[in-house]
Every structure is written in C-alpha cells, then in structure tokens.
Amino acid sequence: MADVIDLALVADARRYLNKMLDARGLNYFLRNDARRPFQLEPSKVEMVVRTAARSREKRRPHSRAVDHARKEVRRELIKRVVQEMLGAGL
C-alpha cells in the first residue's frame, strides 16, 4: 500500500526554509564544530518542520508526513551545502 504524503506540509516547510535562508543564511543551519564544519544542526531542521506544521490547520499532521517533510528539508539543505562547497573549491 502506498504512503500518503501531505504535499501541502512539504510545500509549507520548503517555503519557510527559503524564508529562513534568506533572512539568516546557510550557516544558521550548520553546527559550530571545527571537526565537522558542514554538519547540519538537527534542531534547526526540526524547527522548520514544526513551524510549517503549526502554520497549517488546527489538526496535527500525520507522523509520516512530518518525517517526509523533515527529509525534504534535509535534502534541500544538503544540496545547498554541496553547492557552497563546490563554489568555494573545497
């Protein structure tokens, strides 16, 4: 049986992520660890997904929809980190 994904939640999470990236930049989502300079901060990713879920209707989104939105946000951030690394020649 196929999983049902709440595409509106994913779209809201991406929209909020783009707003956060414009306002604070990519470094806001990265850990401040010298040994792992390009590691994502899980709490910041979770904050984007929770904010998108809260902005929706009063009913809570399904846990699978939240997991999918979290994965999509992580993928987008990883893609942007890789683009920055390639642009910097690392």
pLDDT, one tens digit per residue, over 49-87 is: 999 988 877 678 888 888 999 999 999 999 999 998 887
pLDDT tens-digit map of 7-32? 888 999 999 999 999 999 999 999 88
**Residue 1 is assigned to a structural domain of this protein:** no
3-state secondary structure the chain: CCCCCCHHHHHHHHHHHHHHHHHHCHHHHECCCCCCCCCECHHHHHHHHHHHHHCCCCCCCCHHHHHHHHHHHHHHHHHHHHHHHHHHCC
**Residue 63 is assigned to a structural domain of this protein:** yes
Higher pLDDT, 89 or 42: 42
pLDDT at 37: 73
pLDDT at 86: 86
**Residue 2 is assigned to a structural domain of this protein:** no
Please give the tally of structural domains in the chain.
Answer: 1
Mean pLDDT of the chain: 86
**Domain, as residue range, for 83:** 7-88
**Residue 64 is assigned to a structural domain of this protein:** yes
**Residue 50 is assigned to a structural domain of this protein:** yes
